């Protein structure tokens, strides 16, 4: 008896072990679809009905639930012919690397920021959106949102909204907003005392400091995947920026600087729109101002922008072409941009949305729209993946350990070249 039990248990263990390897017979259809298809099969005119069977399109995302729901609601308008399932996938970009070319496991489309486009395009899992819609269809988009999703001359993303950094200030503490960076420095010198700060930012985080670098005409990496860390503009930017860091909290990471601003201990901050709900909840009288102009270049601080949009996977491009075209056309209408702006304060990529009264009355969205002429989309070349860490090592050595900017920039450039080489 014992033996029998042991054998059964062993068999069960082995079965569960291999259970995960099994492929789902109908991965892209839900139980509702299965039920629908069985009904169809039992009907008399089965073949005719089959032609009218709804097409299911799965869109992966990793964003806020409100945003996902808004996209889902918009695409529900295509039912019953096209059933769209907007599904949350944790660690989505990692998941796409693993299953991106497997039609059984991969989604048909995904919704994400533009900066991974180069990586996925290079892996060969994306289809250009111009296979479904024309370039003219995109003419109403804010100009910078199109190059953001373009890699090696192919457009891979239909932009829905964009994010960028804003100069936010506490109206109760800062009466006059500094117009130039020299004014800002003077303000910081006068107002940084007793645990209170004139201005704070994540001074050693590449995403935030890039605005200073780009304001000086420097760049972290260009679209040819050439790093620019040792360019004179970059050295000038890092050296100039170093003097601001003295008047900011030494540990300039996200939680520290945002808490200071929310607690009214920092008069101003450069941060993203995601901070606004928390700041308002904390009872801060929030103002949004244009970025200060850098005196030596006469250009404002020029931050990165992230463009959020949908991309199509190659595996779905052939089998579901009509459905995907219909989805992209639906998302080309201003409706989705207006809905996202109303639901989650997103700045629409489609300029037509700004004709809507509710959008033009939204102070934050209008401020973001204004900065859109003055932003650089995050590089989407795959080599950018290694640049974040290298740039931050450089910045933290200069800002937190008082290292010499020129030496660190040279060191970082060398490191960048060797890391980019190591990717190949």
Partner 1 sequence: MKKKLLPYLYSFPALLVIGLIVLFPILYTGYISLTNMNIYHWFNYSFIGLDNYVKALFVMDSGFIPAVLRTLLWTVINMMLQVVLAFFIALALNAEGLRLKNLYKTLLMFPWAMPGYVSILLWRMGMFNTEFGMLNQWLRTMGFENINWLSGNVMAFTCCTVVNLWLALPFMIMMIDGALQSIDKAYYESATLEGAGFFTRTGKITVPLLRPIVAPAIIMSTFTTFKQFDIIYLLTQQQGAKTGADIHTIITYVYEKAFITNNFGYSSAVSIVIFAMIIVLSIFTRKDLKEEGR
What residues contact residue 391 under an 8 Å CB cut-off, 6+ apart?
206, 209, 220, 229, 412
Nearer to partner 1, 4 or 17 (CB): 17
| Among 164, 192, 202, 271, contact with partner 1 (rule: CB under 8 A) | 202
Rounded Cα distance, 187 and 137, in Å: 47
Q: Closer to partner 1 at the Cβ: 256 or 351?
A: 256
Alpha helices in 81-180 (DSSP H): 92-99, 117-123, 145-148
Q: Which residues contact 110 (CB under 8 A, 6 or more apart)?
A: 59, 60, 61, 92, 96, 310, 311, 313
Q: Which of 101, 180, 296, 345 binds partner 1 (CB under 8 A)?
A: 101
Q: Which is nearer to partner 1, 134 or 401 (CB)?
A: 401
Query: Given the complex with partner 1, which of 51 and 422 has the nearer CB atom?
Result: 422
Rounded distance between C-alpha atoms, residue 38 and residue 53, angstroms: 11
Q: Under the criterion CB under 8 A, does residue 388 sit at the interface with partner 1?
A: yes
296 touches partner 1 (CB under 8 A) = no
State the minimum distance, in angstroms, from the CB of residue 151 to partner 1.
12
User: Which residue in the set 24, 31, 42, 255 belongs to the binding site for partner 1 (CB under 8 A)?
Assistant: 255
Rule CB under 8 A: say whether 386 interacts with partner 1. Answer: yes
* Per-position x/- string for 12-51, each x denoting binding to partner 1 as judged by CB under 8 A, each - no binding: -xx--x----------------------------------
Touching partner 1, residues 111-140 (CB under 8 A): 119, 122-124
Choosing from 396, 404, 406, 410, the residue that interacts with partner 1 (CB under 8 A) is 396
Class of residue 193 by CB neighbours under 10 A (exposed 0-12, middle 13-18, buried 19+): exposed
Contact region for partner 1 (CB under 8 A) — 148-156, 177-185, 354-362, 393-401?
393-401
Task: Give the DSSP letter string of 45-101.
Answer: THHHHHHTPPEEEEEEE-S-HHHHHHHHHHHGGGTTTEEEEEEE-TTHHHHHHHHTT
When binding is defined by CB under 8 A, the residue of 191, 259, 297, 351 that contacts partner 1 is 259
- Whole-number Å distance between alpha carbons of 129 and 131: 5
Q: What backbone torsions phi and psi does residue 2 show, to the nearest 5 degrees? A: -55, -40
| Residue 155, helix vs strand vs coil | strand
Residue selected from 28, 260, 276, 368 as contacting partner 1 according to rule CB under 8 A: 260
Q: Where are the alpha helices (DSSP H) in 149-249?
A: 181-191, 206-215, 232-245
Among 233, 400, 404, 406, the residue binding partner 1 under the rule CB under 8 A is: 400
CA within 13 Å, CB half, 328: 28
| Cβ at position 271, least distance to partner 1 in Å | 13
Q: Which of these segments, 7-15, 59-67, 214-222, 317-325, binds partner 1 (CB under 8 A)?
A: 7-15
Q: What's the CA gap between 53 and 47, in Å, rounded?
A: 10
Q: How far is the CB of 256 from partner 1 (least distance, A)?
A: 5
**Does residue 394 contact residue 232 with C-beta atoms inside 8 Å?**
no
Interacting residue with partner 1 among 254, 295, 319, 355 (CB under 8 A): 254
Least CB distance from residue 195 to partner 1, whole Å?
A: 7
Query: Which of 185, 340, 397, 412 is the binder for partner 1 (CB under 8 A)?
Result: 397
Give which of 379, 413, 378 is closest to 231, Cα–Cα.
413
**Beta-ladder partners of 46:** none
Among 66, 250, 322, 407, binds partner 1 (CB under 8 A): 250
Q: Does 223 bind partner 1 (CB under 8 A)?
A: no
Q: In this chain, which of 205, 230, 271, 380 binds partner 1, going by CB under 8 A?
A: 205
Q: DSSP for 316-362?
A: HHHHTHHHHHHHHHHHHSHHHHHHHHHHH--EESBGGGGGSHHHHT-
251 binding partner 1? (CB under 8 A): yes
Residue count, binding to partner 1 (CB under 8 A): 43
Which residues contact residue 154 at a Cβ distance below 8 angstroms, ignoring those fewer than 6 apart?
A: 121, 128, 130
In the complex, the residues that contact partner 1 under the rule CB under 8 A are 10, 13-14, 17, 97, 101, 119, 122-124, 195, 202, 204-205, 207, 249-251, 253-256, 259-260, 382, 385-386, 388-389, 392-393, 395-397, 399-401, 403, 418-419, 422-424
């Amino acid at each position: 008896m014992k033996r029998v039990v042991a054998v059964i248990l062993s068999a069960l263990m082995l079965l569960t072990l291999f259970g995960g390897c099994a492929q789902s017979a109908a991965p892209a259809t839900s139980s509702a679809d299965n039920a629908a298809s069985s009904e169809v099969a039992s009907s008399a005119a089965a073949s005719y009905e089959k032609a009218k069977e709804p097409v299911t399109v799965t869109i992966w995302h990793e964003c806020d639930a409100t945003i996902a729901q808004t996209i889902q609601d918009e695409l529900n308008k295509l039912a019953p012919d096209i059933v769209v399932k907007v599904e949350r996938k944790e660690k989505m970009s990692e998941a796409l690397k693993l299953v991106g070319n497997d039609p059984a496991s991969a989604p048909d489309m995904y919704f994400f920021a533009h900066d991974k486009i180069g990586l996925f395009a290079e892996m060969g899992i994306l289809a250009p959106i111009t296979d479904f819609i024309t370039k003219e269809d995109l003419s109403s988009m804010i100009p910078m949102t199109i190059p953001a999703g373009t890699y090696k001359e192919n457009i891979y993303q239909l932009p829905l909204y964009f994010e960028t950094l804003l100069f936010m200030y506490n109206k109760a503490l800062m009466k006059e907003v500094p117009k130039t960076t020299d004014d800002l420095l003077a303000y910081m010198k006068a107002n940084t005392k007793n645990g209170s700060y004139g201005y704070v930012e994540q001074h050693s985080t590449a995403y935030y400091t890039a605005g200073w670098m780009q304001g000086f005409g420097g760049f972290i990496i260009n679209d040819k995947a050439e790093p620019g860390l040792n360019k004179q503009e970059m050295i000038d930017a890092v050296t100039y920026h170093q003097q601001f860091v003295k008047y900011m909290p030494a540990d300039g990471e996200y939680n520290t600087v945002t808490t200071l601003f929310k607690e009214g201990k920092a008069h101003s901050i450069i941060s993203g729109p995601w901070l606004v709900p928390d700041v308002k909840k904390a009872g801060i009288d929030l103002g949004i101002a244009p970025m200060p102009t850098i005196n030596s270049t006469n250009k404002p601080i020029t931050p990165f922008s992230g463009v959020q949009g949908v991309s199509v996977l190659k595996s779905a491009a052939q089998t579901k072409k009509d459905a995907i075209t219909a989805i992209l056309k639906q998302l080309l209408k201003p409706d989705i941009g207006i809905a996202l702006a109303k639901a989650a304060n997103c700045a629409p990529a489609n300029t037509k949305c700004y004709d809507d009264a509710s959008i033009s009355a939204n102070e934050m969205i209008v401020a973001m729209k204004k900065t859109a002429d003055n932003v650089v989309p995050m590089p989407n070349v795959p080599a950018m993946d290694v640049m974040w860490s290298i740039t931050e090592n450089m910045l933290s050595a200069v800002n937190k350990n008082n290292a010499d900017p020129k030496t660190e920039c040279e060191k970082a450039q060398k490191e960048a070249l060797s890391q980019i080489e190591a990717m190949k």
